[in-house]
Structure 1
Amino acid sequence: MNIRVFRTPSDAGIYAASMVERVITSSERPVIGLATGETVLPVYDALVNLVRCGLDVSHVTTLNLDEYVGLSPNHPQSYHWFMREHLFSRIGTPMQATHLPNGVAPDLEAECERYNDLIRNHPIDIQLLGIGVNGHIGFNEPSHTLITGTHVVNLTPETINMNARFFSRKDDVPRQAITMGIQSILQAKQIMLLAFGEHKADIIYEALKDGIRTDVPASMLQLHKDVTVILDSHSAARLGL
């Protein structure tokens, strides 16, 4: 596991984008696993700059980690909307090359199987991850057991409270999501985990230094052979680096 600590999230985003660029330029048909949330915005801004400087992404396929259940792709808080707003529309990604779970599918179980098939047919070259303050990656919440494939998850009160700032009212936050499973995440050839801010320092320590535990899903990344953890000085504060 490689740990890199940067002065600012912007500096970290440039480094993460350079890792993605290496995958894109070294593969005939690269598949990039993407995430949503404030943490990944510096990465997407840096990728946009790389594309403006000549990086060709016309041959890239993307797979996102998750989507809220009950939000249509045109809902301003859906992850479809987030990706269009912050990345896809800015780099001209063909929409047929971008994939997210459908949170309004009439049969959610069938939708999970569809997404599992999609992942099997498009092995992920590099997966971008954030981490929740409770240790979730994707929407794989702390539990006694972790589900391997794409599944519907009940969001914990902690996750709902954290995401409430993006909605007009806390009651508007969806209570469920479709998420890529832990096994699917670990099958990516490379993984990048990003975390910024003092509020992530404790969970970063638990995920990296406190053993492998299902109640800290991100700790499962210790089982992967090629993980780069990208932090700022605040989130790295407890690591003693």
Structure 2
Amino acid sequence: MAEVTAGSELTAGQMRARVFESAEALGRAAARNTAEIVRNAVAAGGQARVIIATGNSQLPFVRALTEEKDVPWEAVTVFHMDEYVGIEPTHPASFQRWIAGNITEPLRPAAVHYLQADTTDPEAEARRYEELLREAPLDLVCLGIGENGHIAFNEPHQADFDDPRWARVISLDDRSRRQQVDEGHFPDVTAVPEQAITLTVPALLAPRHIQVVVPERRKAEAVAATFTAPVSPAVPATILRQQPNAELFLDSESAALLSV
């Protein structure tokens, strides 16, 4: 077995992956990939519809995305993929706030549809968002993978690969809540909401292209499990191995537990 190094190209099932030297190099490559997909979608159909993940691990990618030239953002509709129930848009940990600061303001897409999870009826909000997602084909989802192997907030042993819904209210896994504290979004676990609205696994797999950006050593175990664990809801990200349109962008740290 050979060690995985920068420049390695891997496959697992139908999923492809590339390894880059650093998070910055990964971010630039993912930004180029996103820009190309958006340009092609707009050229072919006059618009692009894109789902974008939030979180610290996505910052190298979205910062590089702002430097891509000649991207027709004026023809792009953006969705995000999850939000804490009960969090106001002004809360420092709000994913709506993250999208506004990192996507809406610098890129100025034609439309951004936010999950309004501070509503008194999160179930109705999930249904409203699902209707928006289903209005037209989706071109690209820009995913991450959580430390526990979740995608969006589809948690281990809770994720449903055949869910008929595209958005629903879920209970957050304890490790997911701890990750939010460790990333500096909340002072302690008790401050992290117990529920969130998330796009389901079928919604995340619906777009024509699936881009998965996973830098940092803290994600290495989840990445290794994505490649080697049985495909099951125990590690939700394993479903990516069955997607020929899925491509992972890894750095040397997140790929540290992989071998060729």
Q: Same fold (TM over 0.5)?
A: yes
Match of 1:41 in 2: 59
Q: How does 1:1-241 map to 2 (within 5 A)?
A: 1-27=15-41, 28-50=46-68, 53-94=69-110, 97-143=111-157, 146=160, 148=163, 149=165, 150-164=167-181, 165-241=184-260
- Cα distance change of structure 1 residues 144 and 93 upon mapping to structure 2, 3 Å threshold: closer
- Cα distance change of structure 1 residues 79 and 144 upon mapping to structure 2, 3 Å threshold: closer
Report if the CA contact (8 A) 1:66-1:100 is conserved: no
Deviations 1:90-120 (A, max 9, x none): 12234xx111321112222211111111111
Task: Please state whether the residue corresponding to 2:212 is helix, strand or coil.
Answer: strand
Amino acid at match of 2:214: A
Question: Residues of 2 paired with 1:168 and 1:122: CA distance?
Answer: 40
Report if the CA contact (8 A) 2:119-2:125 is conserved: yes
Deviations 1:190-216 (A, max 9, x none): 111121222222211111222201110
Q: Which moved more, 1:4-13 or 1:159-168?
A: 159-168
Amino acid at match of 1:162: Q
Task: Please state whether the residue corresponding to 2:211 is helix, strand or coil.
Answer: strand
Question: Residues of 1 paired with 2:70 and 2:247: CA distance?
Answer: 25
Deviations 1:148-183 (A, max 9, x none): 221111111111111013123432211111000001
> CA RMSD of the aligned region, Å?
1.5
Deviations 1:211-232 (A, max 9, x none): 2011101111122121101100
Q: Which moved more, 1:207-216 or 1:34-43?
A: 207-216
Question: Residues of 1 paired with 2:205 and 2:199: CA distance?
Answer: 10
Question: Residues of 2 paired with 1:144 and 1:151: CA distance?
Answer: 12
Unaligned runs of 5+ in 1: none
Question: Residues of 2 paired with 1:160 and 1:38: CA distance?
Answer: 15
Amino acid at match of 2:176: T
What's the offset of the Cα at 1:144?
5.5
Displaced runs of 4 or more, over 3 A: none
Question: Residues of 2 paired with 1:17 and 1:194: CA distance?
Answer: 10
Match of 2:3 in 1: none
- % of aligned pairs identical? 31
Unaligned runs of 5+ in 2: 1-14
Match of 2:10 in 1: none
Question: Residues of 1 paired with 2:248 and 2:176: CA distance?
Answer: 22
